[in-house]
Structure 1
Amino acid sequence: MRERVDERMPTDEDIAFYKERGYWISPKIIDDERLEKLKHHMDQVYAGQFETGKAPWTYWQGEPGMRQTNNSYWADYTLSALAQDPVIGQIAAQLMGTNTVRIWHDQLLYKPGGANSSAMANVGWHQDYAYWQCAAEPTLITAWIAFDDVNLDNGCMQVIPGSHQSGLFNVNNFFEQDLEKQRRELNLPDDVPFAPVPLIMKAGQVSFHHALALHGSGANSTDNPRRSLTVHLMAGETKYKAGTSSDDHMNVGLMKPKDGDVFAGEWFPVTYEE
């Protein structure tokens, strides 16, 4: 058995759990002082204050409901340091079984509470890889970093265990608000029951899920926002597959790869290399 020299790293049993169920939650990695700084910098990005001088790929500009900002790490040094955190990168490498991890892209997420909790605040059942089929294989993992304590009351993520082993499903819609209607339309195989597991976490913990893991979340019924940074990571050998439904993905447009090219270079920073 591999010796555990860092309490933040997954054990062999944790890695086996991830392979079987498609997700894993880390111990607390981000301390409270850093979390307060991250929330401040999140607010700066929402205010259009981009300290790098470069805007994110897409960003929230005042509409109500769920805020989703893509590639926020372009705009802010503090968020960039978190997206490229080597501890998170090393955990991802161990869970995926790879020697090199790169950023695919990030998403700064803000789920409002109180009066706005029902305004586009659900996240529909989806698999991340449904949007990333321009990657030849689902050699990607998502690290969801909680800036606040999360539970069912404020719309924590919920995952269908084992769903990552059954390929792509027929329903994938991040922005779907009628979760019950969507659930009825899911055509899950018999060996993957619809039994959502809520990922209840303390601020500073990180959940990891496979690119094919089916997941979603409900509304935030509390008076406080639910804040997080999602860092989508990929194995270093991830290659481009031309001609898929995801050929309009921003990463294809940024790199302009040829079929079979490895996603690498300035748009895909290395966060961990063994």
Structure 2
Amino acid sequence: MTSSTERVDLGLSPEELAFFHRNGYIGPLTVYTPEEMDRMWKTVQRQTLDRSYAAYPEVDSGAGAPNIFNYDRHLDIDLLARHVCNRKIVDKVASILGPDVLCWRTEFFPKYPGDEGTDWHQADTFANASGKPQLLWPGESEDDFGAGTLTVWTAFTESTRENGCLQIIPGTQHTMNYDETKHMDYDQERINAEIKDGVPRGFFGYDYRQLQVDPSWRPNEEDAVSLTMEKGQCVIFWSTLMHASLPNTGTGRNYRMGFATRYVPTKVRVYPDTDHIEEYGGSISLEKWAAVLARGEDTFKHNKITSTTLRGTPIHSL
């Protein structure tokens, strides 16, 4: 019998960890029951409408600004702050990254009926839109290939092939097929307007194929795995794993909502030598941004860390 002071290990099993290292992902894994997820999403959905404490303002300039200001709502919404520190997630992340873990970004990924799928892509330094790395691992220069970030993509609604589930190509995390130092042209008119290899796909106004190391290369769609998930389940994967999503071919209210939390060990420098995010046609100050120490301790002191939400709520007392 476990005493109240003992810590139950919620990390990956040796078999799960071996699967992850071989394939670059693990899941689906259950974080919440469907009923718990329904209650959580209903509350979060209502609270996202209040942007009075949001890290990034809703601005009129920059056609791509909406893609940026849906970032990092865990910094002002208590339930999302609790989510990024959920031990069913962070203990598994720590199995891969080590005991000391930062959550440096979160993002909502909605897909409504008629929305295109997302291009096949990989991200290492997240320099793909601005050309400036957002992550640097120890010993890296801006031209190095590192480990990227660990993404935990949680299904806040059911995620099916019809409504645009995630797809991954197992084992592709070791070779970057894209050069993030190359330039992508932003064009809002591309959104929901292109067919790629027979599938409606885009990248929020960019064409990710512009970053290909070999312009004639194409991902092998036959190797793709479609990650259908019940609401409340998640998948953990390296950002350097080839991943994409299908279009939403559903009708009515059959939308898909994913919520991505991104983790790195505390030794990684986040947004090095910059004070703003420049993506998707918009540029927003990082003044209110801070990483969250989701697990362990930070002995490196590389990054701005917050222990409270922007509403003043202590994160680890949630």
Q: Same fold by TM (over 0.5)?
A: yes
Residue 136 of structure 2 corresponds to residue 136 of structure 1: yes
- Listed one character per residue, the Cα deviations across residues 16-53 of structure 1 (whole Å, up to 9, x for unaligned) are 1111211111431112332122221342245x224xx4
Q: Take 1:251 and 1:100, find their aligned partners in 2: how far apart are those partners?
A: 28
User: Displacement, 1:125?
Assistant: 1.8
Q: Structure 1 stretches of 5 or more lacking a match?
A: none
Fraction of identical pairs, as percent:
16
Which of 230, 242, 253 is the matching residue for 1:202? Answer: 230
Aligned equivalents of 1:9 and 1:205: distance in 2? 16
Residue by residue, what CA displacement relative to the aligned partner does 1:188-235 show, whole Å, maximum 9, x if unpaired?
Answer: 999x85522111212111101102112111211123110121101111
Question: 2:266 maps to what in 1?
Answer: 236
The 1-side partners of 2:156 and 2:277 are apart by: 32
Q: Which secondary structure does the structure 1 equivalent of 2:12 belong to?
A: coil
TM-score (norm 2): 0.64
Structure with greater proportional helix content: 1
The AA in structure 1 aligned to 2:118 is V
Correspondence list, 1:107-186, <5 A? 107-113=107-113, 117-118=114-115, 121-131=116-126, 133-137=133-137, 138=147, 140-167=149-176, 169-170=178-179, 177-180=194-197, 186=212
What displacement does 1:180 show? 2.6
Q: Deviation at 1:70?
A: 0.5
Q: Does 1:216 align with 2:244?
A: yes
- Number of corresponding residues: 251
Are 1:263 and 2:303 an aligned pair? yes
In structure 1, what is the Cα distance between the partners aligned to 2:308 and 2:301? 13
Output aligned runs, 1:20-169, within 5 Å.
20-46=22-48, 48-50=49-51, 53-57=52-56, 69-96=70-97, 98-113=98-113, 117-118=114-115, 121-131=116-126, 133-137=133-137, 138=147, 140-167=149-176, 169=178
Q: Which runs of 5+ in 2 are unaligned?
A: 1-6, 128-132, 138-146, 199-206, 291-299, 310-314
Question: RMSD of the TM alignment (CA)?
Answer: 4.1
Checking the alignment, whether the CA contact within 8 Å between 1:28 and 1:204 is kept in structure 2 is yes
C-alpha contact (below 8 Å) 1:8/1:26 kept by paired residues? no
Letter in structure 2 aligned against 1:262:
H
Residue type at the aligned position of 1:197? V
Q: Check the 8 A contact 1:67/1:111 in 2, yes or no.
A: no
